[in-house]
Structure 1
Amino acid sequence: MAQLNDEQIESLYKFTRQHFVEHYDLQTELVDHMANGIEQQWQKFPVLTFEQARDLEFKKFGVFGFMEVVEQRQKAMNKKYTRMVWNHFKNYMKVPKIAAFAASILVTFIILKFTSFSEGFLLGAICTCALIYVAFLLYRSRQIKSHRMVSDKKWMLEDIIFSQGALAGLALIPLHFYNIFSDLSSINAGWILALSLFICSLYLFLYIITIEIPKRAEEYLEATYPEYKMSQ
C-alpha cells in the first residue's frame, strides 16, 4: 500500500493551518487521521493524486470543515483545566494547608469586624491584590511569548493555562462590597464571616490559576501530550 512521504505529511500540516487549526496537538491528530484516510483511498483508487485524495478526506468533515473538531477539543480541554483548578483548590481544604486557609479567613474577619479602619483596609487590600495579580498576568504573558520564540508550536492546554487575562476583573469583585457597605463593623457577624470566606476563596482561586498551575505547566503538558517533550 502506498504511503505518504515527509513532504506530503508537512503539506497536510500546512493544510490544517490554512483551515484555522492553530494548535499543534490538534494538527497532529488531524494529520494522522487524514493520512490514514488518504492511504485507504489510494488502496481503493490508486489513480487518485495526493490532492484529490486529501480533498475527498476533507469533505468527510462536512460543511464547516475542521471547526467542529476544534470546538469539541476546546470544550474537552476547558473541562480538563477546570478539573485541574478544582483539584488544586481541594488540596487547600486538606491538612495542613486548610489551617493556613482558615487562619486567613479568621484574620480577615477580625480586621473587617473589629478594627476602626476596616473600609480603608478592605479597599487597600483589594487594590494591592488586584495589582499583584495583573503584574503576574503580564509576567506570564511575556514568559509564554519568549517560549514561543524558541518553539513555534502552540498547544491548546498551554494556551488555556497561560491565557487567563479575562479573569483579571475578578480581582476587583470585592470592591463592590466596599461600595455597598459604608460601615462593615456594624454588619451582622455572620455576613462578615461569609464575606471573609468569599474574599479568601476568591484570591486563593486567583493564586491557583495565576501562579500555582502555570508553575507546573511543563508537568501537565508532558502528561497530556507525550510528544510535547520531544518537540521542545
Structure 2
Amino acid sequence: MKDDEIKKISDEEVEKLYDFTKKHFVYYYDLQVELVDHLANAIEEKWTEQPQLSFDDALKAEFKKFGIFGFTGIVEKRQLALQKKYNKILWGYFKEFFKLPKIMLTLALILFVVKAMQYIHPITAGVLALAILLFSIVRFFVLNRQYNKKVKKTGRRWMLEETIFRCGGISFIFFIPYNFIQSLFKDEYTVTAQWIMATAIVLFALYEYIILYVIISKAERLLNETYPEYAVLKQN
C-alpha cells in the first residue's frame, strides 16, 4: 500500500462488525446498522493516522471508548429515544381527534355510547369496553405473530417495531381507568356518569385504533425511509 493511500473498510470487515455487535448483545438490526456505520468510520479515521494498525486492533481501541458496559448504554439510550419519538407520534395522532373535522367523529361516538346506555341498558358501556379490549388483544397477538414470523424468516429484529409492540401489549392497563370510573358511580348511572363513562370508552377505543393500526403503518414507512434494507427484507 502506498503511504498516501487511505485504507477503507472492506465488505468482509463490515460483516465482522455486524458479528461483533451481535456478540456484544446488540440484537436489533436498525441499531446494528448505526453502530457498524459508527465503528467503520471511526476505524477509517484511525487508519488515516495509523495506517499500519490492524483491523482488530483498531476495533478494540474504538470499543474501549464505550466503557466497561460496552454497547449497553447505547442500546438503553436508543430505546429511550425511540420511546420518546413513538410517544410524540402517538400523541400527535391522538390530538387530531380533538380538532376539526375529526372531533365531530369523536363527539358522535361519545353520543352513541351515551344513547346506548340510556335506551338499551347501562351495561352496554361495559360490554363495549370489554369488546374493545378483547379485539385489541386479538389484534396484538396477530401482529406479534406476523412479526415473529418475519424475524424468523429474515433473521432481523427491529427496535422501533418492538417498541411499538411493547406498548401495544399493555392495552389491558387502559381498561383499568374504566373499571375505576365504574366503581365510583356503581349503580348510579346519572347523566353525568354516562357521559364520563362514554368518554372514557371512546378514548380507549381511539388509543387502541391509533396504536394497533395507524402507528403500525407509520412505523413501516419510517423504517422504509430510514433503512432501505427494511423494504427489501420485508419482500423476501
Change in Cα spacing, 1:182 to 1:51, as seen in structure 2 (3 Å) is same
Partner of 1:70, secondary structure, is: helix
Query: 1:126·1:172 contact (CA, 8 Å) conserved in 2?
Result: no
Alignment of 1:1-232 (within 5 A): 1-112=6-117, 114-115=118-119, 117-118=121-122, 120-163=123-166, 164-185=168-189, 187=190, 189-232=191-234
Q: Matches of 1:137 and 1:227 in 2, distance apart?
A: 25
Partner SS for 1:184: coil
TM-score (norm 1): 0.87
Asked if the contact 1:127/1:172 (under 8 Å) is kept, the reply is no
TM-aligned CA distance change 1:201 to 1:224, over 3 Å = farther
Segment drifting more, 159-168 vs 138-147: 159-168
1:64 CA drift (Å): 1.8
Post-superposition offset of 1:220? 2.7
Distance in 2 (CA, whole Å) between partners of 1:146 and 1:214 is 16
- Letter aligned with residue 141 of structure 1: N
Name structure 1 gaps, 5 residues minimum: none
Deviations 1:195-219 (A, max 9, x none): 3222211221111101222244422
Report the TM-score, using the length of structure 2 for normalisation. 0.85
Conserved? CA contact 2:96–2:102, under 8 Å: yes
Report the Cα distance in structure 2 between the residues aligned to 1:171 and 1:210, rounded to whole angstroms.
16
List 4+ stretches of structure 1 deviating above 4 A. none
- Aligned to 2:132, the other structure's residue is in SS state helix
Q: What amino acid does structure 2 have at the position aligned with 1:98?
A: I
CA contact (8 A) 1:4 1:35 kept: yes
User: Which amino acid in the other structure matches residue 178 of structure 1?
Assistant: Q
> What is the distance in 2 between the residues matched to 1:224 and 1:43?
29
| Identity among equivalent pairs (%) | 36
For residues 74 and 160 of structure 1, the distance between their equivalents in structure 2, rounded to whole angstroms, comes to 8
* Distance change in 2, residues 1:183/1:11 (3 Å): same
Cα pair 1:109 1:196 within 8 Å, conserved? yes
In structure 2, distance between residues paired with 1:116 and 1:90 = 31
Q: Once the 2 structures are TM-superposed, how far is the Cα of residue 144 of structure 1 from its aligned partner?
A: 1.0
Range moving further from structure 2, 176-185 or 31-40: 176-185
Cα distance 1:215–1:47, how it changes in 2: closer, same or farther (>3 A)? closer
Instruction: Give deviations 1:133-155, integer Å, cap 9, x for gaps.
Output: 11111111111122223322222
Query: In 2, are the aligned partners of 1:126 and 1:175 still within 8 Å (CA)?
Result: no
> Which ranges in structure 2 are unaligned for 5 or more consecutive residues?
1-5
